[in-house]
Amino acid sequence: MTETAKQPAPIVWPGSAYPLGSTFDGAGTNFALFSEVADAVELCLIDDEGNETRVALEEVDNFVWHAYLPGVSPGQRYGYRVHGPWDPHNGKRCDPNKLLVDPYARAFDGEFDQHSSLFSYDIHADEPGTGRNEEDSLGHTMLSVVINPFFDWGDDRPPRIPDEETVIYECHVKGMTQTHPDIPEQLRGTYAGMAHPVMVDYLKYLGVTTIELLPVHQFLQDDRLRDLGLRNYWGYNTFGFFAPENHYSSSDAPGDAVAEFKQLVRTYHEAGMEVILDVVYNHTAEGNHMGPTIAFRGIDNESYYRLVDDDKFHYMDYTGTGNSFNVRHPHSLQLIMDSLRYWVTDMHVDGFRFDLASTLAREFSDVDRLATFFDLVQQDPVVSQVKLIAEPWDVGEGGYQVGNFPSLWSEWNGKYRDTMRDFWRGEDSTLGEFASRLTGSSDLYQHNGRRPTHSINFITAHDGFTLNDLVSYNEKHNEANGEDNRDGESHNRSWNCGEEGESDNPEVLELRARQRRNFLTTLLLSQGTPMLAHGDEIARTQGGNNNVYCQDNEIAWMDWSQLEDASELHDFTRRLIKLRQEHPVFRRRRFLGGGALGDEEHGREIAWLTPDCTLMTDDDWNFAFGKSLMAYLDGEAISESDARGQRIIDDTFLLMFNAHYEDIDFTIPATKFGEEWEVVVDTTEPLGIRDDAEPVAAGSTITVGQRSTVVLRRTQPPAGEGKQ
């Protein structure tokens, strides 16, 4: 034991190798750290003045170094020093000069301050990444914190909202709350702010069932961004997979973020809503060989990271972030699975969206459905029972893997996003693809037993334009990011409706508003699971910036002052969500059975028609300039049953889509399909409702305005079947 301050030596018991991390049991704390490469490990207890007391961990079981310290209680700050080989060219980077954070820590305190001591190489060397830095990083690094694991959950239960009833709202803890006038200033930008009644009520009123929080695992502030006067906003730079980000806590006390996050989850559960997390297990914040030594690199570099096979000085990078997590190693896999279980069992979250999920399966050159990670998730009794969503791409070979994940997984459907954007901006040859995406993308998901709900449909997400900017900009405008507009996606399938950026042209503004409503209508009435990006319901803008990962400011935050000006769009969105929730015909558990309307029209769940109300033929589907079509959804032909085994009977709807630049007259089907219809959605109207709209008779025509959607509901049954 080494002491750098005059303090009584702590009592040390052997403790246990499990669980990893620091675990307080009411009388003391057990510490356990995995390192296969280490020759020795020191636990370093840090007091309030920053003084260090080192405790040598003498007990080792299965490469887990451990000890139990009676009397060590919640709030204790600590780190590790790992002694072992320093041989970077052979993948070994142990450095006891660096005080390392605990990968299993449940909370953190302090900041990384950009000091040279955080790096094990000489940052001033002529050849980047070479030389040696043996400065002590104590005082310049964040510290791990022992937490109090006890929390009164009351009668908390997971809502377990069925997939077909789920409406996801992707949002950012800070961005959602930072400018809200009704949230107390001290709570803005925090978990407590997100759990404030005004925020819960807003989301409940909107109709969403599930919030998806951008990363809240403890993440690193990049030196490069700090030098530019910017900050990591999205949080895809994790190093603490068990800890809620401490800067989102309304309290400065170490460890308080944990209880505050638990309170957030409990609050949303009480309101009947789910909380799922956007998680980043594909890489860590340490980056490539030029990154700092703050945790994994110094603990066991070869175990935690994928290294280049014939050049272990360098890291495999499937993620574009400098490194890739080594899911081939059992202890790395254990960390991921332990973390996922912790967030479900201890933090009560309801699911996860996995950033760059393809990377986790890269045991070979593409996504292997039998990859070890997927095997573990499949058999895990905890993780397999929550919502699992994959972002199905990375930067490796064959990186786009939509449709290739195992049957347990839902996926962000990027093909849905691209198709809908192309259709509504008037691209040619999109009708067939549009119909496929509208009905749940059976080509992607049906082959391995999945359902339409496994398609997470979205038009926009955090990564890219907002909905408002999608219809306002042809080009990205990312100059504020300090990269000369080189960052971000250049091919956005966006259309500015005639003018780039802000406009005072009434015709441009009206068209943009209509396009926003078209996108929202298509999204919320498609088969699958819809996901809204926060602020799209109030026309949130980022000024054309499609990569606000570093904009922790007004560019990216919600501007709640827009709510009044965008009240019509907000009400329109709420009304569409309500329409979806009230009508199971729009949210089916199974893929639709159907085709053309003909002699066997009854029993068809869906049929595709031309504006003239003729059956769609191959020529119609393949017509390069086709911009319009009609879908007949028969609510009396639903083959699946409800939760109690009863037949589902719903209203019948006609969906009319016109992406052409001129109005088109659509012919209503004959009386044998219904005598009378009413307009329930018309995207040419600000609220989607036609004032004083007359009933629509069978066989008549209805004008669908240029670039608009009209939805009809049958109000009178087919002739001879009696009145409803």
Residue type, 557: W
Name which of 61, 56, 102 is nearest 78 in CA terms: 102
- Cβ contacts of 352 within 8 Å, gap of 6 or more: 276, 277, 278, 279, 340, 343, 386, 387, 388, 389
Which residues neighbour 159 within 8 Å (Cβ) at sequence distance 6 or greater? 209, 269, 272, 273, 274, 350
Please name the residue that has the structure tokens 């693809």: 433
CB 195 within 8 Å of CB 562: no
What angle, 0 to 180 degrees and rounded to 10, lies between the N-to-C axes of helices 372-379 and 330-345? 30
How do 307-308 and 28-34 pair as beta strands? unpaired
Catalytic option among 260, 355, 676, 685: 355
Give yes or no for a contact between 69 and 28, defined as CB atoms under 8 angstroms apart. Answer: yes
- Taking Cα atoms as reference points, which of 479, 681, 483, 455 lies closest to residue 578? 681
Give CA–CA dist 590/442, Å, rounded: 10
Cα(252)–Cα(489) distance, integer angstroms:
37
Burial of residue 106, with CB atoms counted within 10 A of its CB: 0-12 exposed, 13-18 middle, 19 or more buried: buried
State both tokens at 402: 């939509």
Nearest-angstrom CA–CA distance, 270 and 65 = 41
The catalytically annotated residue of 102, 212, 300, 391 is 391
Question: Is residue 355 annotated as part of the catalytic site, yes or no?
Answer: yes
The pairing of strands 455-458 and 529-533 is: parallel
Active site residue 164: no
Give strand ranges (E) for 453-595.
Answer: 455-458, 529-533
Least Cα distance to 240 among 221, 259, 219, 223 occurs for 219
| Nearest alpha carbon to residue 118 among 136, 105, 132, 131 | 136
SS3 label, residue 69: strand
- Give buried/exposed letters for 587-624 (b at 16+ CB in 10 A, else e): bbbbbbebeebeeebeebbbbbbbbebeebeeebeeee
Q: Give, in degrees to the nearest 5, the angle at Cα 105 between 93 and 26.
A: 140
Instruction: Report the amino acid identity of residue 444.
Output: L
CA distance to 280, 321, 556, 647, per residue, from 167 (Å): 22, 31, 23, 24
- Strands (E) located in 547-627: 606-609
Task: Dump the DSSP string for 169-238.
Answer: EEE-HHHHHTT-TTS-GGGTTSHHHHTSHHHHHHHHHHT--EEEES--EEEPPPHHHHHTT----S---E
CA distance 689 to 133: 68
Strands 628-633 and 606-609: antiparallel
Residues in the chain: 724
Please report, for residues 227, 634, 637, the alpha-carbon distance to residue 669 in angstroms, rounded to integers and kept in the order given: 64, 12, 17
Tokens 């574009």 — which residue? 320
**Residue 84 main-chain phi, psi, to 5 deg:** 180, -170
Burial class (CB in 10 A: 0-12, 13-18, 19+), 648: middle
**Given the DSSP bridges, would you call strands 40-46 and 52-56 parallel, antiparallel or unpaired?**
antiparallel
Per the CB < 8 A criterion, the answer to whether 682 and 638 are in contact is no
* Catalytic site positions: 355, 391
